[in-house]
Amino acid sequence: MATDIAALNERVRGQGAFITAVKDEVAKVIVGQDLLVERLLIAMLCRGHILIEGVPGLAKTLTVSTLARAVDASFVRIQFTPDLLPADITGTTMYSPQDGQFHVRKGPIFANIVLADEINRAPAKVQSALLEAMQERQVSIGGTTFPLEEPFLVLATQNPIEHEGTYALPEAQLDRFMLKVHVTYPTREEEKRILDRYVAPNSAVPVAVVAGPQAVTMASSALRDVHMDDRLRDYIVHLVYATREPEAYRLHGLRPLIEFGASPRASIYLAQAARAHAFVNGRGFVEPDDIKSVAPDVLRHRIVITYEAEAENVTSDEIVRRVLAGVEVP
């Protein structure tokens, strides 16, 4: 078994050799935000989508665009506003008087990486226009279906401190996001480095292309080779089930706080994200710490808390923390 694991590690390091180079290129521009960069890579490898939440000014958009340049992926930023229409995202048919025909004009969704900036500022009809693209990886325009190029992922941002003129994302759409990542303030040391970097003359740093979309697609396929022990599969099932039936795991205090637990999609995404976490860190096998590391990002937006939890200021993050502490690690 040790020889098999050694071979898996070697294979993963070969197929994921570009990961370190991508991180280094992003670090030329972005100070800190290591967690966000790692989660972006995990979502890209898993062909998943990611919801990024953080206050303005934390370089969320810059991080995404820098990553896109490093992997030579087409990148589009869509600023969501209350007056945005679904056709502004997916595209529409336009009449051409020259030939008297209707022609398809594709929207900005036809890119490898789509940044939906402040997604909660657009109404539900516009948000739902993303659902087919996110789930089916195709777009229907004028009765014709167009497949989206691979890799394709939607990275959406939302501002947690402004609620005026915003529309909460429906639960069905939240569930389409593989991960929800909270971006926090930099440390004092990181902020000093940011200041030093951006007040210096010629602060613009060119980002080199260190990988292509094909390398990302091949690495995505290689995730299936990452070994996951059956006991770890059971551990994932127990974690997700504990959000639905906490009493079964002697977490009786959570019952009044959880309205709805995580869906089976959480189990699938948790397994995929754990494999990708191991892959990004150069291992060909999953450890319990891989699962525990990505569990908050996979589960926090899939647990619906009760009014009682809100009254007690208990968040879904706190519930996930208690579940991780209460479910036995294999």
Over the stretch 103-140, which tens digit does the pLDDT of each residue have? 788 888 898 899 988 888 887 788 777 877 888 888 88
Domain range summary for the chain, segments of one domain joined by +: 17-216, 226-326
Question: Contact 22/211 with Cβ under 8 angstroms?
Answer: yes
* 226-326 CATH: 1.10.8.80
Q: Average pLDDT of the chain?
A: 85
Pick the CATH number of 17-216 from 3.20.20.60, 3.40.50.300, 3.90.850.10, 2.40.50.140: 3.40.50.300
Does residue 2 carry a pLDDT above 50?
Answer: no
Does residue 79 carry a pLDDT above 50?
Answer: yes
Over the stretch 183-218, which tens digit does the pLDDT of each residue have? 888 888 888 888 887 776 666 678 888 888 888 888
Q: What count of other Cβ atoms lies within 10 Å of the Cβ of residue 41?
A: 24
Give the highest mean pLDDT range of 91-100, 168-177, 307-316: 307-316
User: Quick one: average pLDDT of 263-285?
Assistant: 92
Coil, helix or strand for 31? Answer: coil
Over the stretch 288-319, which tens digit does the pLDDT of each residue have? 999 999 999 999 999 988 899 888 888 999 99
DSSP assignment string, 44-98: HHTT--EEEE--TTS-HHHHHHHHHHHTT--EEEEE--TT--THHHHEEEEEETT
Sole residue written with tokens 């040391």: 189
Q: What is the pLDDT of residue 161?
A: 66
| Cα–Cα nearest to 25, from 40, 10, 12 | 40
User: Quick one: average pLDDT of 276-292?
Assistant: 91
